[in-house]
């Protein structure tokens, strides 16, 4: 089990950095410091290993989503907390970045990575609108799409700027989200729709 988990961890970093087509089993065996036979003992094909990495990234993401949504904050605050938590997770976990990349790049990939968090954001924003937390002119579907693009941009930025200060990109995300939230939140004292 330890070798299997080690392989998934090494593969996550390789798939994140080089993509599906740019990662070979021989490269993975060298990076993991084990024989190609040991790799294929645990994963018969690169696609199997990629699926395991995707599942690892989705599971880590779902744990964050469930942790944040369990707090019971108002809907818009929950979206804010979730966006920021995803930013930190993306920066910290290569399996999450690899899952985001692999579900776009490879045929036969599992469900899209954004599918394990974006529906929660969509639901929360619909609830925020119904509860009067959003400015009346804000379409919750458009805000959810913007959130998807923003978080997707974090994935790309972290991959490109990997050597920067830890937390720098998550900090930028916090600043951007703060700007967005100020524009989309209902004005203080606004009436809640009936």
Sign (positive or negative) of CA dihedral 5, 10, 16, 22: negative
Q: Are 102 and 96 in contact (CB under 8 A)?
A: no
Q: Is residue 91 part of a domain?
A: yes
CATH number of the domain bearing residue 97:
1.10.357.10
Per-residue b or e along 54-92, where b marks 16 or more CB atoms closer than 10 Å to that residue's CB = bebbbebbeebbeebbeeeeebbbbbbbbbbbbbbbbbe
Q: Is residue 146 part of a domain?
A: yes
The tally of domains found in the chain comes to 1
Q: Is residue 5 part of a domain?
A: no
What single-letter DSSP state applies at residue 191?
P
| 190: confidence class by pLDDT, cuts 50, 70, 90 | low
Q: Is residue 4 part of a domain?
A: no
Q: Is residue 24 part of a domain?
A: no
Look over the chain and give the mean of its residue pLDDT values, rounded to a whole number: 91
Q: Is residue 8 part of a domain?
A: no
Q: Is residue 88 part of a domain?
A: yes
Residue range 122-174, pLDDT digits in tens: 999 999 999 999 999 999 999 999 999 999 999 988 888 765 677 888 889 99
Domain coverage including residue 165: 54-184
Residue range 8-17, pLDDT digits in tens: 999 999 999 9
Considering the chain, what percentage of its residues have pLDDT values greater than 70? 95
Q: Is residue 17 part of a domain?
A: no
């Amino acid at each position: 089990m330890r070798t299997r988990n080690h392989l998934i961890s090494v593969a996550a970093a390789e798939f994140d950095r080089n993509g599906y087509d740019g990662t070979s089993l021989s490269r993975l065996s060298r990076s993991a410091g084990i024989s190609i036979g040991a790799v294929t003992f645990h994963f018969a094909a690169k696609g199997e290993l990629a699926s395991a990495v995707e599942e690892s990234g989705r599971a880590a993401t779902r744990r964050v989503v469930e942790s944040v949504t369990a707090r019971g904050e108002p809907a818009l605050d929950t979206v804010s907390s979730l966006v920021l938590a995803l930013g930190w997770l993306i920066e910290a976990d290569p399996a999450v970045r690899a899952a985001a990349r692999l579900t776009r790049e490879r045929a036969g990939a599992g469900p899209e990575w954004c599918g394990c968090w974006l529906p929660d954001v969509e639901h929360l924003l619909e609830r925020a609108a119904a509860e009067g937390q959003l400015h009346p002119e804000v379409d919750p579907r458009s805000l959810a799409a913007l959130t998807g693009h923003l978080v997707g941009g974090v994935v790309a930025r972290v991959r490109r700027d990997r050597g920067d200060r830890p937390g720098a990109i998550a900090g930028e995300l916090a600043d951007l989200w703060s700007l967005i939230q100020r524009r989309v939140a209902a004005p203080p004292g606004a009436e809640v729709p009936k």
